[in-house]
Amino acid sequence: MIEKNGYIRDLFRQPLGAPVAALGWVKTRRDSKGVHFIQLNDGSCFQDLQVVVEAGAIPEATLLHATTGACLRVSGELIASPGAGQAVELKAREIHVYGPADPATYPLQKKGHSMEFLREIAHLRTRSNTFGAVFRVRNALSFAIHKFFQERGFIWVHAPIISGSDAEGAGRMFQVTTLDLMNVPRQGGQIDYTQDFFGKSTNLTVSGQLEAEIFALAFSNVYTFGPTFRAENSNTPRHLAEFWMIEPEMAFCDLDGNRKLAEAFLKDIIAHVLDHCRPDLEFFNKRIDPTVLETLEHVAASSFEHVTYTEAVRLLEKARDQGRAWEFPVFWGADLQSEHERYLTEEVFRKPVVVTDYPKEIKAFYMRLNEDERTVRAMDVLAPRIGEIIGGSQREERHDVLLSKIRAQGLREQDYWWYLELRKYGTAPHAGFGLGLERMMMYLTGMKNIRDVIPFPRTPGSAEF
C-alpha cells in the first residue's frame, strides 16, 4: 500500500533530488522523439505527476505498455520541471507495469466525454478529472459534517437501515422480504407476513428521524448520517432511489435554534471544503460551472435570508401582480412549487433562503403546531439552482396535540406507540432537520445531475455496478 506520506500529493513537497517511487494510473501520455511524458495520478489530488522518460532510460518493451489507463510504479528522482504546467516532475529510472490497458479498447480518451457516457462506465469514470474531484470533495464534505457535529458534542446515531415502521409517510418504500416470491404464503387472502423473516412486513428506511428523536431525548444533541431509500418513480436530475442523508436532532431546541444551526452548519461545511479542496473546486469553476467558487465564498460569508411562508406567498403574489406568470397558482395554503422556490432564491434574494411556518395542512403530522393553529414550525432551506437542500421542523412534543394530529390525518395510532410514549415520559421541546448529502454535493461542485455526485447511482430501471 501507499504509506502515510507517499501519495503523489506528498511527492510534490519532497526536496528536489530525492529518490521516490510513485504508484498510480496513467491519465494521458505524450511522446516526442527523445522523450516521453506520462501523467500519473493516484487519486490523492487533482494534479497529475508528470513522469519524464528520456530516450533509452526504460526498456522499449516496458514503455509499450505504459499507455493511458495502465497502472504503474515509477521510481526515479524528483527534479525541477522546465515545463510550464508543474513545478516538479519525476525523472524515471525504472517502471513496473502492474496492469496494462489496451489502448485500442480503453474507453477514456484525452478529449472530454459526456456525463451520460461516463455514467455507463462508472467503473472507470473514477479515473477522470471530473470524478476524481467529485469524490475527493464528497469525502471532505462527509468529514466536515462529522467534524461540525462532533465539535459541538453531538452523538452520531446509527439509525437502522431496515425499518419496521410501516407508516413513516415519506413516499413509497422498498420492501425487504425473504418470502418466496414465486409462492407467497397467504392467510385469508392477505400475504402472511408472520412467516416473513422479521415476522412482519419490513422496508428499507426512508428516514432516520423518528429514531433520532429517541436518541435526542436521551443524549440531547444527536445526528444520523447514513443511506436512505425511496422507491418513488422519480426521473429527475435531483432524485435517487438510494441516497445519503444527515439528520441532526436537538433536545431543548425551537425552530429559531434549528434555523440558526442549519445556517451555521451549511456555512461551516462550505468553508471546510473551500479550505481543503481548492484545486478540485477551481476545476469545477473552470469546466463545470463558472459561478461555483463565487457562490460558495459568498454563502460562507453572508447571512441567509429568512422569510415566513406567509411573507413568501406575499412576495409571489406581488410578482404575479407585476406581470409574472406562474404555472401553478399562488395563494395562502398552496405548497410552494419549484418555480416559486427558484424565484425566491435565484431572483429575489440570490442566496439561500429559509422559509418557515408553513400551513399545517401541507406539512407532516409531527411538526409543532403554532399558536395561530393554522401553521406549523416547519422550515425549508432553499438554495439557488437546486431548490430545497434542507427540510426540518420543531417537533410536536405535546402528547395530546400529537395524538389528535395523528388521528386527524387518519394515521393508526398503534403504529406510533413508542413515538407517543416519548411524549408521555420526559418529553422536551426538540427540533431537527435533514440534509441530502448529494444535494449538497451538487451545490458544492456545480454538477448538474445528482447521478454524478454519488459513486454508483440507483435510479428507476438502473442499478448497474
Partner RNA sequence: UCCUCAGUAGCUCAAUGGUAGAGCAUUCGGCUGUUAACCGAAGGGUUGUAGGUUCGAGUCCUACCUGAGGAGCCA
Task: Pick between residue 196 and residue 203 the one whose CB is nearest to RNA.
Answer: 203
* Phi and psi based region of residue 230 (left: phi greater than 0; alpha: psi -120 to 50; beta: remaining): beta
30 binds RNA (CB under 7 A): yes
285 binds RNA (CB under 7 A): no
Burial-class residue 210 by CB neighbours within 10 Å (0-12, 13-18, 19+).
buried
Pair 438, 453: CB distance under 8 Å: yes
Q: Pick the binder of RNA from 78, 241, 299, 344 (CB under 7 A).
A: 241
Which runs of consecutive H residues, i.e. helices, occur in 69-208?
115-120, 129-151
279 binds RNA (CB under 7 A): no
Element housing 276 (H / E): helix 255-276
Task: Pick between residue 193 and residue 419 the one whose CB is nearest to RNA.
Answer: 419
Using the contact rule CB under 7 A, the part of the chain among 184-192, 257-265, 269-277, 430-438 near RNA is 430-438
Task: Pick between residue 114 and residue 183 the one whose CB is nearest to RNA.
Answer: 114
175 binds RNA (CB under 7 A): no
Q: Which of residues 176-235 bind RNA (CB under 7 A)?
A: 207, 230, 232-235
410 binds RNA (CB under 7 A): no
Using the contact rule CB under 7 A, the part of the chain among 26-34, 195-203, 253-261, 413-421 near RNA is 26-34
Q: Which of residues 60-79 bind RNA (CB under 7 A)?
A: 67-68
249 binds RNA (CB under 7 A): no
Q: Which of residues 77-106 bind RNA (CB under 7 A)?
A: 81-86, 89, 91, 103-104
Task: Pick between residue 90 and residue 217 the one whose CB is nearest to RNA.
Answer: 90
116 binds RNA (CB under 7 A): yes
Can you say whether the dihedral through the CA atoms of 439, 454, 444, 435 is positive or negative?
positive
3-state secondary structure of 90: strand
Min separation Cβ 421 and RNA, Å: 24
Q: Pick the binder of RNA from 376, 389, 406, 453 (CB under 7 A).
A: 389
Q: Pick the binder of RNA from 45, 262, 288, 435 (CB under 7 A).
A: 435
Task: Pick between residue 35 and residue 167 the one whose CB is nearest to RNA.
Answer: 35
Task: Pick between residue 305 and residue 339 the one whose CB is nearest to RNA.
Answer: 339
Question: How many residues interact with RNA (rule CB under 7 A)?
Answer: 71
Q: Cell numbers at residue 35, please? A: 522523450
Please give the backbone phi and psi of residue 178, each rounded to the nearest 5 degrees, phi first. -115, 10
Q: Pick the binder of RNA from 254, 339, 346, 415 (CB under 7 A).
A: 339
Q: Which of residues 133-162 bind RNA (CB under 7 A)?
A: none
Task: Pick between residue 15 and residue 34 the one whose CB is nearest to RNA.
Answer: 34
Q: Pick the binder of RNA from 434, 444, 446, 453 (CB under 7 A).
A: 434
Residue with cell 399558536: 371
Identify which of 381, 448, 459 has the alpha carbon closest to the alpha carbon of residue 130: 448
Min separation Cβ 343 and RNA, Å: 11
Task: Pick between residue 118 and residue 406 the one whose CB is nearest to RNA.
Answer: 118
Burial-class residue 358 by CB neighbours within 10 Å (0-12, 13-18, 19+).
buried
338 binds RNA (CB under 7 A): yes
245 binds RNA (CB under 7 A): yes
Task: Pick between residue 237 and residue 455 the one whose CB is nearest to RNA.
Answer: 237
Cα distances (angstroms) measured from residue 419 to each of 101, 215, 399: 56, 12, 10
Distance CA 89, CA 402 (A): 66
Burial-class residue 423 by CB neighbours within 10 Å (0-12, 13-18, 19+).
buried
Using the contact rule CB under 7 A, the part of the chain among 300-308, 395-403, 417-425, 443-451 near RNA is 443-451
Say how many residues make up the chain.
465
Distance CA 455, CA 42 (A): 17
109 binds RNA (CB under 7 A): yes
Distance CA 357, CA 345 (A): 17
Task: Pick between residue 52 and residue 144 the one whose CB is nearest to RNA.
Answer: 52
Distance CA 259, CA 306 (A): 9
Which runs of consecutive H residues, i.e. helices, occur in 288-413?
292-301, 309-321, 338-342, 399-408
